[in-house]
Amino acid sequence: MERLKIGINGLDDTIGGFPMGRSVLITGEPGCGKTIFGLRFAISSCMEGYNTVYITAEEDANDLHIQANSFGWNTQELEEKGLLNFIELTGIRARITEAELSMDMDPMKGNFTKIIHDIPPEAEVVVIDSLGGYTAKLTAYEFRNQFDLLVYELKQRGITSVIILDSATSKEFNELALFSVYGAIKLGRREKPLHRSQGANNGHSQDEKHQNTPPVPHI
């Protein structure tokens, strides 16, 4: 199976990249480097010449540019060249929440299958960061159905995707998501005396293991 480089030398050397046209799940506790991982993969895909879309549900594009710049990654240039496209969902969610509060309504159930309609037809690689905010009030059955459909639609379009799901969302949802994706990586933090480093625990995958590479989260 053809693979796409992740942009993390140690990980690419070990597994050869992510499989083309498949979805990989990235999970982990808040602050462990999931967004940085997603940004690095998106940048690597752009450098390989693939039209890449980064869908952000929790931060705006400017915040992501700042994070990328702190590692010396020029995402603005990639965006100006049309190789990288940021789609912000934060404003949409905020307006929906405001409308619900003004009408004294209960929050609507999440529906992240609509995300597929926001992806431009020319997209070849997609990073979704993250689905956590779209799981509100969903039952396990509803989550599984929506997640299955999302992964299926991405595969039908031949899109290579990284889907980020915060481990704090729901342990059950994280476990259910593993049944739909090709593989998964769980990031975590290792505590050391007078030093904190970002890291990853062994991730579920059909054939994948991982190891260290700076400056992104240690794998």
pLDDT of residue 109: 63
3-class SS of residue 149: helix
DSSP H helix total and E strand total for the chain: 7, 9
pLDDT of residue 136: 77
Q: HSE-up of 132 (CA within 13 Å, CB side)?
A: 20
d(CA 180, CA 170): 16
Sequential pLDDT tens for the chain (219 residues): 899 999 998 999 999 999 999 999 999 888 899 999 999 999 999 999 999 999 998 889 999 999 999 999 999 999 999 999 999 986 554 444 444 434 444 445 677 778 898 899 999 999 999 888 788 788 999 999 999 999 999 999 999 999 999 876 678 888 999 999 999 999 988 776 555 445 555 444 444 433 333 344 444
Edge-first strand order for the sheet with 84-88 is 84-88, 52-56, 125-129, 160-166, 23-28, 183-192, 195-201
Surface-to-core class of residue 37, CB atoms within 10 Å of its CB (0-12 exposed, 13-18 middle, 19+ buried)? buried
d(CA 179, CA 140): 13
Domain extent listing, the chain: 3-12+25-201
pLDDT of residue 91: 56
Query: What class, spelled out in words, does domain 3-12+25-201 have in CATH?
Result: alpha beta
d(CA 177, CA 147): 7
d(CA 58, CA 147): 19
pLDDT of residue 93: 47
pLDDT of residue 193: 53
